[in-house]
Amino acid sequence: MTIMSSMFPRVMLTVLVVSVAAPVGIGMWEHYETAPWTRDGRVRADIIAVAPDVSGLVDEVLIKDNQLVHKGDVMLRLDPERFRLAVSQAEAALASRKAAAEKAGGDRARYEKLSEGVVSQQQREAVRAADLQAKALYNQAAADLAIARLNLDRSELRAPASGRVTNFDLRPGAYVAAGRGIMALIDTETVHVEGYFEETKIPRIHVGDVVDVKLMGGAKLRGRIESIARGIEDRDRTLGSSLLASVNPSFSWVRLAQRIPVRVRIESKDIDRLIVGTTATIQVHVQNRVPPG
């Protein structure tokens, strides 16, 4: 009796510890192994590499680094003098081609009125060909003028989208080449969070799920699942020299779950304050799931 009485407190303590530890262990397993959350998240956005459409010297810079711009805003101007001269030259060429086309048209009209006994068929065809060629040259001159005016208009570099300019360091007097990027523009309308979830957790994630996003800097945001990627790269498979699949024969005993990109739409008015590239923790609330329509 004495032994049983002395063991009773130990048994009760063991039962108490097990009864407390079991739910805690199950909860930790649920949280870390199956719950749809990840610390591998990033703030992302569409980045536009802004480049001039024409080459020239920078005459005026109207923006500064990290400035917010709106679509259509003039960000810088190139020296327009060369482009204006090109427009004047194209206008003069068009006037010359117009006069030549009018003369050729008049000649053709006069030859068409003459009888076959006065002019030969060969002369008629030659006049007709000269008229068509003059019209073609006039159309080409008109196109050249349109291009010259377009180049003059493109000497003003405008924002292709609303966003924030970054990594910009350009001053008047610098020479820029057509097609070469000179700044990055973050499209603020496309700012979102992308989480990389383990493939074992994807079945519990659905489009429309409510999401809590916590940035490493401390900010907390609210959002919803917008889409789930439908494919990732297979790093164990390559293309052989014979165009057949070459699969890595090695197989590790410990297989890590693949990471699947999940796009999260942020529901916040201060989305412009988010810094693209920063780290985020994402928690999906399956109990707040929106039922399908």
- The answer to whether 67 and 188 have CB atoms below 8 angstroms apart is no
How distant, in Å, are the alpha carbons of 46, 77, 161, 202, 222 from that of 260?
19, 44, 29, 8, 21
Give CA–CA dist 166/200, Å, rounded.
Answer: 38
Model confidence pLDDT, tens digit, residues 134-157? 899 999 999 999 999 999 999 999
Give CA–CA dist 277/287, Å, rounded.
Answer: 29
Share of the chain above pLDDT 70, in %: 82
Model confidence pLDDT, tens digit, residues 176-191? 999 999 999 999 889 9
- Amino acid 165: pLDDT: 94
Give CA–CA dist 213/281, Å, rounded.
Answer: 6
For residue 263, the SS3 value is: strand
- pTM over the 0.85 mark: no
List of domains in the chain: 36-44+190-288 (2.40.30.170), 52-78+156-180 (2.40.50.100), 81-154 (1.10.287)
